[in-house]
Structure 1
Amino acid sequence: MAISDKKVAFLLTRGVEQVELTSPRGALDEAGATTVIVSPSEGTLQAMNGDWDHADEFTVDVPVSQAKVEDFDALVLPGGTLNADALRLDEDAVALVKAFFAADKPVAAICHAPWILAEADVAKGRKLTSFVATKTDLINAGAKWEDSEVVIDGNLITSRNPGDLDAFNSAIANALS
């Protein structure tokens, strides 16, 4: 599936779960999309394996304070407990998520990343899924939480964990095609 004219922002910071970044990014790169790492941090970011073990480092392409929704076709929010917790406390990151929803562009979030949707006040009334530890927070934010490998509600795509990456990646590519 060719999506060579699409540009996708990956919003993340230190502590991102490596496979939840590299798997969807690799799938989109392979399909011809341009992927861009957007972050409140500068320089390089330390990814993690399972929140405990250091993995690779990734270079930030665009500071979140300079990212504009009109420059991108979709937004991907990889998980990682530390990553998601830090992003939901960053005003520019939350504002960017809100802007993607206001523009009705695809937003894909996996694992702990849906926490950011609660902070951005865009989870209310939405069907979604996430890592089970965030379920109560999302329900309290008004979401309709489901235990499924991928849940699509309008422009929102969510998955639970790395075991769901094939379905997550396919759903993102389909939303862009």
Structure 2
Amino acid sequence: TRSAKPQDRGVATQVLPDLALANVDAEDYSAIVFVGGWGSSQYQYGFEGTYHNSAYQPQPGVVFDVNRLVKAFDVADKPVAAICHGVTVLAWARVDGVSPLQGHTVVATPGGMPGFRSGSLDFADAQYPARWQIEANGATMLTAGSIGDPLSAADDVVVDGNIITAENDDSADRFARQIALSVRPGR
């Protein structure tokens, strides 16, 4: 229940959550959604590297709660959605020991991920693609622009079972509409 300061182009705004993740019950919600930006890295349950920027480093209690929720939504066959770098949160989640993305087709940012260390290897910011995190966890990631209009990411949204993914902020409108459709009664 810490306050958060969104990166909203200089407007001094704080988000004050009124419910801790530990107290969230998936039965009370229709879908779970992870938005992108490198900050979403802090919710990666199974990531074993160390991010250079400590703000991105997963905290055990928080990632445990996030993973518990991803599992609950997935097991209940409710929509589990992510856009841009947020797809890596789903890649590193674990449901019965495997990523909920394993065997699914997804889209996500074609860009890089935050700099990190893993064993003796060290990678700078954006040196390693986010695709690696997704495909290393068993998903097939489509090439950017491969859905519909190849010159636009606006239509780059994939629904594979209860998993809904989108490429980036250009895809946000279609992503939001798809989530809304998926939670309609009688879907």
TM-score for both structures, normalised by structure 2: 0.66
What's the CA shift for 1:54? 5.4
Higher Rg: 2
- The structure 2 residue matched to 1:70, chosen from 23, 27, 30, is 27
- Alpha-carbon distance in 2 for matches of 1:169, 1:125: 24
Alignment partners' CA distance in 1, 2:107 and 2:178: 14
Seen in structure 2, the aligned counterparts of structure 1 residues 109 and 85 have a Cα distance that, compared at 3 Å, is: same
Q: TM-score normalised to the size of structure 1?
A: 0.69
Aligned to 1:154: 161
2:153 counterpart of 1:141: no
- Corresponding residue pairs, total: 132
Specify every segment of 5 or more residues in structure 2 that has no aligned partner in the other structure, as ranges: 45-57, 94-98, 113-129, 148-155
Query: Hey, which bits of structure 1, 4+ residues long, moved more than 3 A?
Result: 53-56
Secondary structure of the structure 2 residue equivalent to 1:104: coil
1:109-129: per-residue Cα shift (whole Å, max 9, x none)? 001111111111211101111
Does the Cα contact within 8 Å between 1:100 and 1:106 map onto a contact in 2? Answer: yes
Structure 1 gaps of 5+ residues are 1-41
Cα gap change, 1:153 to 1:161, in 2 (>3 Å): same
Matched with 1:104 is 77
Measured against aligned partners, the alpha-carbon deviations of 1:135-169 in whole angstroms (never above 9, x if no partner) come to: 12101111011134101001111111111111111
Equivalent AA in structure 1 for residue 175 of structure 2? F
What is residue 86 of structure 1 aligned with on the other side?
Answer: 42
Q: Name the structure with the higher helix share.
A: 1
Q: Secondary structure at the match of 1:109?
A: strand
1:125 pairs, out of 99, 103, 117, with: 103
User: Counting strand residues as a fraction of each chain, which structure ranks higher?
Assistant: 1
- The answer (yes or no) to whether the contact 1:46–1:54 under 8 Å persists in 2 is no
Q: SS of 1:98's equivalent?
A: helix
